[in-house]
Each structure stands twice: as C-alpha cells, then as structure tokens.
C-alpha cells in the first residue's frame, strides 16, 4: 500500500462540473502531527500511527473551492513494511470515506463557504465526516488522525505526482531517501525508480 493524493474541485460556474482526481504515490510518506496548525486538529487523544492531511482553498474571485488531501504514516522510516501497509491502508480507507461524504454533501457546506468567504464550513464538514467514519470501527480507525497542511505543501506534493523533478519536492535526506515537500518517502526498496505512467499524470491544484 502507498500514500494517496486526492484533489477535489467544486466550481460555481454551471458550465463546469465537479472534478475529482486520486493518485497513488510510489511509497509511503512520513509525516507526524504538525503543531503549527491547531484549528480543528484531532490531537486530544495523542499522536496517531497514520494521518489524513488536507488543504482547503476558496478562490475569492470565482468562488471555486479546492480541497487536496494526502495520507501518511507518522513513523514510516521506523516501521516494518507490514506496519506501513496496515497503517496507510487504514488512512486510505478514511480519506476515501471523507472524500465521498464531502462530495455528496456539497449543498450543505459549499454555499456557506462562499457566503462567509472562507473554508471553515468545509473544515467542519470534513471533521464531522472523519469522526463519523472512525466511529464505524473505532478499534481500526482510531489509529488515524486528521490534520491540516499548508497550501504550499499540498502544491509541492501535487507537483511531485506530475513531475520527476521539482524544486523542493524531489530531494534526498541524509539517509538518501527521497523526500516530497520535505516529507520522507519510504519505498519498498528505498531506491529511486521511475514509473512513466505515474509521472505522466498531472493533476490540477
């Protein structure tokens, strides 16, 4: 199993349709809780084994709402492959459920975002969807947390999906592992490889 990148776009123009793209990275990203973001973080129960990270943006000019999300393991470089597979699969299941819920409930939160001029209603809807899905199987999904990433970090991840080399998003750390937007990418063999089909996909974020 690998980390997933999800992009959702809700336009206001009736001629444009809702867009959704899901990409699978070539490994498991490592990222733990980010204390620089506190709004709506789920951190009361302590650190988790895996996370769903999201970035939500409202274009003030046209009202278009863009949501990007990624899944990570908190300690991917220390885990066994079996642990990484298990934890990231949990996170991917959660991210898919939240994605589907937000898509289906757009009419409940999107108008409020545009009226307010911010994405707080979306973040609240996201948290509600997250909590509801975790409660369907608390023993399994309590290993997964929800938090936020910056728009810049999300952009770098999206650029990595579409390009093999992008400044700041495709480097190596001291252990020669590839990093994506500053996050270590743990592969099965920890070797750099090129998947032409994967790299040819270019999402819009």
pLDDT (average), residues 175-179: 73
Model confidence at 195: pLDDT above 80? no
Model confidence at 88: pLDDT above 60? yes
Q: Which helix (H) or strand (E) element contains residue 145?
A: strand 144-148
pTM of the model as a whole: 0.82
* Residues in the chain, total: 205
* pLDDT the model gives residue 42: 44
Which residues on adjacent β-strands are paired with residue 54? 69, 148
pLDDT tier at 43, thresholds 50, 70, 90: very low
The predicted-structure confidence for 6-21, as pLDDT tens digits, reads as follows: 999 999 987 889 999 9
Helix ranges, the chain (H)? 81-104, 106-116, 120-134, 138-141, 151-162, 196-199
Q: What angle do CA 24, 20, 152 make, to 5 degrees?
A: 70
The domain limits of the chain are 4-151
Distance set, CA 58 to CA 6, 55, 66 (Å): 17, 10, 7
The predicted-structure confidence for 130-152, as pLDDT tens digits, reads as follows: 999 999 999 999 999 999 999 99
* pLDDT the model gives residue 177: 75
Cα 134 to chain centroid distance, Å, stands at 17
User: Terminus-to-terminus CA distance in the chain, angstroms?
Assistant: 24
pLDDT tier at 39, thresholds 50, 70, 90: very low
CA distance 61 to 20: 21
Q: What is the mean pLDDT of the chain?
A: 85
Q: DSSP letter for 37, please.
A: -
């Amino acid at each position: 199993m690998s980390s997933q990148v999800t992009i959702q776009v809700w336009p206001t123009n009736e001629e444009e349709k809702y867009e959704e793209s899901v990409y699978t990275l070539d490994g498991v990203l490592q990222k733990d809780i980010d204390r620089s973001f506190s709004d709506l973080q789920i951190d009361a129960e302590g650190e988790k084994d895996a996370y769903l990270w999201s970035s939500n943006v409202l274009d003030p000019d046209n009202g278009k709402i863009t949501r990007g999300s990624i899944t990570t393991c908190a300690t991917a470089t220390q885990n066994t492959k079996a642990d990484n597979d298990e934890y990231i699969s949990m996170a991917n299941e959660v991210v898919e459920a939240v994605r589907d819920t937000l898509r289906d409930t757009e009419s409940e939160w999107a108008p409020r975002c545009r009226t307010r001029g911010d994405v707080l209603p979306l973040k609240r809807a996201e948290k509600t969807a997250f909590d509801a899905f975790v409660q369907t199987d608390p023993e399994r999904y309590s290993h997964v947390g929800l938090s936020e990433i910056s728009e810049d970090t999300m952009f770098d991840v999206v650029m990595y999906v579409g390009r093999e080399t992008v400044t700041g998003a495709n480097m190596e750390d001291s252990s020669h592992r590839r990093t994506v937007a500053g996050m270590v990418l743990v592969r099965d063999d920890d070797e750099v490889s090129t998947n032409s089909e994967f790299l040819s996909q270019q999402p819009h974020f």
